Structures are given as C-alpha cells and as structure tokens.
C-alpha cells in the first residue's frame, strides 16, 4: 500500500489466487478419493457466460462471498467484501461443492462482525464502487444482511483492471499510471474505458516484469492487477485499518516513463513531472478535454 513495488503487489495477488485454487483443488480431490463427488470452484476469472452482459458485470459461477457468510467463515463488511475479526478483508475465498454430507456450521452473528462501518473502504476506491450511504438488503438462509450498494462492476474493471489509477481527488493513485477521467455514470465509464483501452495498448512495456494476465472478459488484453485497495485496507481492527488508510493516501501517484519504468511522486510533484514529459507520451495516459 505504500507503493514500494508493483511487481510484489501483483505477485501477492496472483499468489493468493493460486493458493486458493490449489487448496480447493486438493480438498476436492481428497473428497473424491473418499468416494464423494466433488468439484472445486475457481475463485476468480470464472464467469457465468450465459448471462447477457457478462463481460461487463462478470457474474461468478457461484458467489464465494455468500457461501462464506452463510457457513460462518466470515461476515460482510460495508464494502460487501467478506472479512474476519483481526484479519479483515485481506482474504481470498475458494469453494468446493461436494456430495459429502457435512454438518452445517452456523453463520457468525451480525453483532460479532469485524466491520466497524468506518467506511474507509469507500474512500480508497477511485472508481466509487461502493455507496457511502445506500445499502442493499438481502436474505441468506433466513437471516437478513446489509452492505453498501455496489455501483457497478464495470467501475472496478476500469480501475482495478489497470486502465486508469489516479484518484479523482488527484492525491494518490493505484498501480496504474493512467490519468483518465472516471465519469459519473456507468454508461460514460463504458465509453471512457473504450478510449482508455486503445491508449493502454500503446503503453511502453513494463521494466519491472512483464506482469499482468488475460481475463476472460477482455480476451487479447494483458490486464494488470493494480488495486485491490478496498480489500487490502481493512485489517479487521480500526487502528490498523486507519493506519493503512493513511499509508495508502500518502503513497503518492504513479507515472510511467517513456522507457516503461515507473516512478512514484507526491501528488504535486507527480503532476509537474508528468506535464514535463513529451506530449506524445502524455496522450497515452490522459484524454485532453477536446478528445472527451
Ligand atoms: S474498511 Fe471499515 S467499513 Fe469497510 S469493511 Fe473494513 S471495517 Fe467495514
Ligand atoms: S479493487 Fe479497487 S477499483 Fe475495485 S472495487 Fe476495490 S478499491 Fe475499487
């Protein structure tokens, strides 16, 4: 979060996903060996393609979050991410579906949730994915839950997917050097993402490592994992979460040089440094007003 190494940030995200898939795979194989038909459900990049608009909404094959809350693994935070006391939302879920008849475990009582509703998770999201005041209510296994209304997954695709990264307050960025606007409506975001995508594909190659991966929703595009802040900020206790918030919001803004290397500066310095780069290079990361 202090923006020391993009490669390490990305490696950590990949490693978490890899470990989650491996654990669920091993568990499903073990159950199958015992004679219970079992399947692991991959935790990410695994969508219900039969649903219209799946590339934008990215509906998972199964909601790992709902399964985790219904079975008492964790609770919903305000963001809707699932977390645990003392760990917060810095977790990645994996699921196994099995015919083995296991004794159900009870959900965690609402009053025992890790979430203090500090809402710092909403403030670190450049994409305004989570409402600060609007809630959604729904029932799972007869229990009513609430969390922030989510404003549309295309927002996360645009920011966490790496196309843009500068927070609208211009004070900090994700690991994306993109400085494109983040419009109000989802429709405008779709349109802006199209423009940003064309420029993104002209960015120079990274010098830290190749990085990135191919997401099913954007075949042929190398997607960088640049954010995850809503998850990483929340460590399940108010003191550490607010310290993480301070570290992140003071971590500066990322700029990519014409040779592909990345540099991080405090916001004002970053602006000056960026504005001193050749116009042709700058146009790869921002859209001038006339081009909007
Ligand atoms: S950051 Fe605060 S509001 Fe958000 S999930 Fe964590 S404890 Fe809840
Ligand atoms: S990963 Fe980043 S862009 Fe996506 S919802 Fe979380 S904070 Fe917002």
Tell me the residue length of the chain: 292
What integer pLDDT is reported at residue 218 of this predicted model? 85
Which residue, judged by its Cα, is nearest atom 6 of ligand 1?
Answer: 234
Look at residue 27 and tell me whether its pLDDT is greater than 90: yes
Look at residue 291 and tell me whether its pLDDT is greater than 60: no
Distances, alpha carbon 130 to alpha carbons 67, 81, 174, in Å: 21, 11, 17
37 half-sphere exposure, CB direction, 13 A CA radius: 1
What integer pLDDT is reported at residue 174 of this predicted model? 98
Instruction: Tell me, in angstroms, the distance from the centre of ligand 1 to residue 241's CA.
Output: 8
Residues 28-50: pLDDT tens digits? 999 999 999 999 998 888 889 99
Of 13, 11, 31, nearest to 23 (Cα)?
Answer: 31
Domains of the chain: total? 1
Its domain, for residue 49, covers 6-287
Ligand 1 atom at minimal distance to the Cα of residue 81:
5
Ligand 2 atom at minimal distance to the Cα of residue 130:
5
For the chain, what percent of residues have pLDDT higher than 90?
88
C-alpha span between 193 and 240 (Å, rounded): 34
Which residue, judged by its Cα, is nearest atom 3 of ligand 2?
Answer: 156
C-alpha span between 229 and 1 (Å, rounded): 8
Q: Take residue 66 and report the two structure tokens written for it.
A: 């709902």
What integer pLDDT is reported at residue 292 of this predicted model? 43
Look at residue 197 and tell me whether its pLDDT is greater than 90: yes
C-alpha span between 231 and 76 (Å, rounded): 12
Burial letters 220-232, b for 16+ CB under 10 A, else e: ebbbbbbbbbbbb
Residues 76-120: pLDDT tens digits? 999 999 999 999 999 999 999 999 999 999 999 999 999 999 999
What integer pLDDT is reported at residue 289 of this predicted model? 52
91 CB within 6 A, ligand 1: no
Domain contains 1: no
C-alpha span between 234 and 240 (Å, rounded): 8
Distances, alpha carbon 281 to alpha carbons 256, 269, 288, in Å: 9, 18, 13
User: Mean pLDDT over residues 62-76, rounded?
Assistant: 96
Which residue, judged by its Cα, is nearest atom 6 of ligand 2?
Answer: 230
Domain contains 292: no
């Amino acid at each position: 979060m202090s923006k020391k190494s993009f490669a390490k940030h990305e490696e950590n995200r990949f490693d978490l996903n890899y470990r989650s898939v491996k654990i669920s795979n091993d568990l499903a194989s073990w159950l199958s060996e015992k004679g219970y038909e079992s399947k692991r459900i991959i935790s990410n990049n695994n969508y219900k393609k039969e649903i219209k608009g799946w590339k934008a909404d990215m509906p998972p094959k199964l909601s790992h979050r709902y399964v985790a809350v219904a079975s008492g693994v964790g609770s919903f935070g305000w963001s809707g991410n699932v977390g645990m006391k003392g760990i917060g939302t810095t977790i990645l879920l994996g699921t196994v579906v099995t015919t083995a008849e296991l004794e159900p475990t009870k959900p965690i009582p609402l009053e025992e949730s890790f979430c203090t509703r500090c809402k710092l998770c909403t403030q670190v999201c450049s994409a305004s994915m989570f409402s600060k005041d609007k809630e959604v209510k729904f029932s799972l296994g007869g229990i009513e839950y609430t969390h922030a209304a989510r404003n549309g997954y295309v927002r996360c695709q645009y920011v966490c997917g790496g196309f843009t990264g500068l927070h609208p307050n211009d004070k900090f960025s994700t690991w994306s050097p993109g400085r494109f606007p983040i419009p109000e409506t989802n429709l405008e975001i779709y349109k802006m993402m199209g423009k940003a995508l064309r420029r993104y594909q002209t960015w120079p190659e990274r010098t830290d490592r190749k990085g990135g991966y191919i997401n099913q929703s954007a075949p042929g595009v190398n997607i960088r994992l640049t954010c995850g802040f809503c998850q990483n900020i929340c460590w399940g206790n108010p003191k550490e979460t607010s310290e993480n918030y301070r570290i992140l919001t003071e971590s500066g803004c990322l700029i990519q040089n014409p040779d592909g290397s990345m540099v991080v500066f405090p916001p004002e310095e970053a602006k000056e440094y960026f504005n001193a780069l050749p116009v042709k290079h700058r146009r790869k990361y921002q859209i001038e007003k006339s081009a909007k």
